[in-house]
A and B are shown apart, each in its own frame.
Chain A
Amino acid sequence: MASIEEGGGGGHKKGPGVKKAKKLSTHLDMTPMVDLGFLLITFFIFTTTMSSPTTMELYMPKDTDKDDEQNKAKESGALTILLSKDNHVYYYEGQLKEDASNFLSTNFAGIRKVIIDKRKAVIEAHQHDAGCEKIWAKNNGDKKSCLDKDLVVVIKPGELATYKNTVDILDEMTITNTKRYAMVDLFEAEKTLIDKTEGR
């Protein structure tokens, strides 16, 4: 059992006139204390939340109807991602064609590759832009950032997409280092197209 023992022995001899004091045991039973200690440890282990939450920044643009205030995107660099129910992801490049031939389906595992491929295509099609490079050089930026400046990802979460889907796709933007992206509402044509694809 738990105990504190006194280091015994080695005491010097006492004189004949000195009375010998009775030695009391210094054994101390620590068991209840240990029990209590472990009870508290268990309690704290269970109540502690170790993973602290983090935050993700989101900047939204001001709603505007004025044409000249709206950001323009080049058709060649546009990638539209539509989110629907059950983690379905649809996407198309540039404008949606009348016959919807460029309307493709994927999921969250596949969308990263789509974004990366699109980015590669945009960089390949990039034409030398002295103006942009000048601005970047002035801000001590990376000139390479001009290569993919035409890439704009448009995120359109549908009404059946979950909040998790929305956060995941925004996260995907951070992961693929896409600087220009926007979150907007679905068009009517896209809505009907998704409904048709999902058999509604």
Chain B
Amino acid sequence: MPSVKIPKKSTFVDMTPFVDVAFLILTFFIMATKFKPEEPVEIKTPNSVSTKDLPDSDALQVTFDSTGRVFFSVLSEKDATVKYNVIKHMNDTRNLNLTEAEMRNFVKAPAVGVPFSGLKQLLAVPAEEHKNYKQPGIPLDTLGGELYYWIRDAVGTFTGKQLKYLIKGDNEAKYPAFKQVLNAFKKNEIFKFQMITALEDVPAGSELDIIRKRQKAEGN
């Protein structure tokens, strides 16, 4: 039979370089990933042209969502005892009657947004389940409300450290909510804040754009 015999070629493809690259990418992502702490509410922050980085330690953060609920958290990436000291101090000054386990639970909790009266109840729930726990927010009024005490007592435990005050607000939150948060800080004689925003490009040709370009040119 006149048939042409096609030589059978191996179907093996050497995947080694491909695998190498894949694992390289995998390594990159593992290194670059920083799990953001789970927060009890989702906040969409506004944009700004500011380029200052967010501190991860020695900072108090007040978060308010679109409905005006206010949450309080202590950022202490480097040293967890800081957070423990805060709640211990709170427990003493506000007579919260928290148990040791509940205070340890506070350290694990990302943020709290309950009145003092409801704090014991919240901390009885494991920190991992806080996001399913409906938190009403820290009560506020024009004089600062309970947030005033949170800030005062937290500041009291940070001695000899430069504390930063972060405010994280939702795009849709109304201005009075923001003002009340500011008032609580102001009553504590704190006038310097950092508002958490997302990075945005500087509009081309604006005054700031010209200044930044000049600074860059001078720096080189």
Contacts and interface: CB of A to CB of B under 8 A. Distances in A.
Interface in B81-129: none
Given A49-B34, A52-B54, A163-B46, A58 B26 contact: no
B169 A163 contact: yes
Interface in B1-22: 11-16, 18-19, 22
Contacts of B207: 116, 175-177
A79 to B, nearest CB: 15
Contacts, number: 173
B197 A167 contact: yes
Interface in A1-22: 1-5
A167 B197 CA distance: 9
Given A55-B196, A83-B175, A44 B19 contact: no
B163 interface: no
B64 to A, nearest CB: 8
Contacts of B67: none
A83 B172 CA distance: 14
A164 B172 contact: yes
Contacts of B80: none
Interface stretch (A68-76, A93-101, A152-160): A152-160
Interface string B18-46: 11001101100110111110000000011
A40 interface: yes
Interface class of chain B by DSSP: mixed
B173 interface: yes
A87 to B, nearest CB: 11
Contacts of A197: none
A82 to B, nearest CB: 11
B54 A159 contact: no
A158 B176 CA distance: 8
B15 A1 contact: yes
A61 interface: yes
A34 B195 CA distance: 44
A175 B34 contact: no
Contacts of B178: 163, 166
Interface residues of B, number: 63
A54 B175 contact: no
A104 B16 CA distance: 68
A33 interface: yes
Contacts of B14: 2-3, 5
Interface string B41-77: 0000111111111110000000010000000000000
A43 B48 CA distance: 30
B22 A38 contact: yes
Given A5-B12, A60-B191, A177-B207, 19 more contacts: A1-B11, A2-B15, A37-B23, A37-B26, A44-B26, A55-B50, A56-B194, A56-B195, A57-B192, A57-B195, A116-B207, A162-B171, A162-B172, A162-B175, A164-B171, A166-B178, A171-B48, A174-B50, A175-B202
Interface of B: 11-16, 18-19, 22-23, 25-26, 29-30, 32-36, 45-55, 64, 166-167, 169-178, 182, 185-186, 189, 191-200, 202-203, 206-208, 211
Interface of A: 1-5, 27, 30, 33-34, 37-38, 40-41, 44-45, 47-49, 51-63, 83, 112, 116, 157-168, 170-171, 174-177
12 contacts: A3-B15, A30-B16, A34-B18, A56-B197, A58-B195, A59-B192, A61-B191, A62-B191, A157-B175, A159-B175, A171-B50, A174-B50
